[in-house]
Amino acid sequence: MREIVILGSTGSIGRQALDVIRRFPGELRVAGLAAGSNWPLMAEQIREFRPRVVALAREEAARELAQNLPPEELPDIFWGPGGLVTVATAADSGVVLNALTGTVGLGPTVAALEKGLDIALANKETLVVAGELVMKLAREKGARILPVDSEHSAIWQCLAGQPRNRVGKIILTASGGPFRKEPADLSRVTVDEALAHPNWRMGKKITIDSATLMNKGLEVLEAHWLFAVHYDQIEVVVHPQSIIHSMVEFVDGSVIAQLSLPDMRLPIQYALSYPDRWPGELPRVDWFALGELTFEPPDTNRFPCLALAYAAGRTGGTMPAVLNAANEVAVDAFLAGEIDFTTIPRLVAGVMEEHAVIYEPTLDEILAADQWARRAAREKARG
């Protein structure tokens, strides 16, 4: 029986992970859960999955949770960043699934790795912000980082059994988002339009990132760290159907791709079953109903965030943390109706231009750069 801790259990990935666990009661059991403010859903999850330990973002939410569960069903309840770390390190073995959104995912990832625990990583911001430190820590502690992001799960599967020094390039597929072709003027798109992803139902932050193509940019950095490939070896190809989740081209010109219907339960399940594959009833590709699979280059004039992410990755040091933090603030401001869609890349670029990069930063220097970028981005968002 594999013990699973889920950080972000009330979110899109967290809920789908619990659905996977529900399907494999003989293989997986929930040891701990953590979430932000959604205590009513957390209460339901506790009743069904009986974790030993849980955490919420704030003390008031934790109190509400405790008051709304019968004493015999009460797990140990914690809160705040410390609570996240307590839950992340609650098991002595098994897998910690990090499905938190944003930089808040970094602290518990580091804590779990320090303890030598394997991480199933959906929270791409962890690697964007501190990829070098996180990968080094995982190597030192003998812990595995199991990719959950669909593209990185695909690449991981394509690389299985292949010589790592024979990779020519990684081809990251992108849906292109809801504004791939239109409208011509992106400054007037609404929040609802930006949240209408053509293929995936996800949390708000990643859905806006998909619409700006920042999601693909963050995934370029994530691939760089996970698979130790240079930025010149990572190509983004727009594939609007989201059936091919990514590909690897080897030095002899052969290309291996991973295909499936767009359903995150598959990469989640693979990370939790690895190195095995478990039989299941997730929807299958119907080849004759599929229609065309098409490919086109990304338009970086229309979507400058992709180029900004490559630039931040190539610069290195604290720049990726600044890119990520400025983007988090910009996305929040767009969702709150404070800035328009085209201001997101302009704001991120402006903050990056003002940043004095620290190379080979410590974790504290990365966190300080993150805080600086948030302040700078908030000022710009206020105009």
Ligand X SMILES: CC(=O)[C@@H](O)[C@H](O)COP(=O)(O)O
Ligand Y SMILES: NC(=O)C1=CN([C@@H]2O[C@H](COP(=O)(O)OP(=O)(O)OC[C@H]3O[C@@H](n4cnc5c(N)ncnc54)[C@H](OP(=O)(O)O)[C@@H]3O)[C@@H](O)[C@H]2O)C=CC1
Among 9, 16, 123, 210, binds ligand X (CB under 6 A): 210
Mark the segment that binds ligand X (CB under 6 A) among 2-10, 147-155, 161-169, 299-307: 147-155
Pick from 45, 103, 123, 175: which binds ligand Y (CB under 6 A)? 123
Query: Reduced to 3 states, what is the DSSP secondary structure of residue 90?
Result: coil
Residue 368's identity, in one-letter code, is A
Cβ–Cβ under 8 Å, residues 202 and 101: no
Site string for ligand Y, 29-68 (x = CB under 6 A): -----xxxxx------------------x-----------
H-run or E-run covering 177: none
Each residue 175-204 as x (binds ligand Y by CB under 6 A) or -, in order, gives: -------------------------x-xx-
Cβ neighbours of residue 300 under 8 Å, at least 6 residues apart? 306, 307
Nearest to 125 by CA among 326, 333, 359, 340: 326
Residue 236 is a binding residue for ligand X (CB under 6 A) = no
Chain residue at closest Cβ approach to ligand Y: 11
- CB of 177 or CB of 304, closer to ligand X: 177
CB of 205 to ligand X, least distance (A): 11
Please tell me whether residue 343 binds ligand Y under the rule CB under 6 A.
Answer: no
* Position among 53, 122, 226, 234 found at the interface with ligand Y (CB under 6 A): 122
Judged by CB under 6 A, the chain residues 140 through 169 that form the site for ligand Y are 149-150
Starting at the earlier edge strand, list the strands of the sheet with 118-121. Answer: 76-79, 53-56, 28-34, 2-7, 95-98, 118-121, 145-147
Within 8 A by CB and 6+ apart from 49, the residues are: 18, 21, 29, 30, 33
> What is the SS3 assignment for 259?
strand
107 binds ligand Y (CB under 6 A): no
Nearer to Mn ion, 149 or 370 (CB): 149
Enumerate binding residues for Mn ion (CB under 5 A).
Answer: 149-151
- DSSP state at residue 296: B
The listed partner (ligand X, Mn ion, ligand Y, none) that binds 143, CB under 5 to 8 Å by sort, is none
Among the listed ranges 60-68, 137-145, 210-218, 323-331, the one in contact with ligand X (CB under 6 A) is: 210-218
Of 43-51, 146-154, 252-260, 361-369, the segment contacting ligand X by CB under 6 A is 146-154
Q: How do strand 167-174 and strand 244-250 relate by DSSP bridges?
A: antiparallel
- Indicate the residue type of 161: G
* Near ligand X in 252-291, by CB under 6 A: 264
Contacts of residue 376, defined as CB under 8 A and 6 or more positions apart, other chains included, come to 326, 350, 351, 354, 355
Q: What is the DSSP letter of 284?
A: P
Q: Which residues bind ligand Y (CB under 6 A)?
A: 8-14, 34-38, 57, 84, 99-101, 104, 122-125, 149-150, 200, 202-203, 205-206, 264
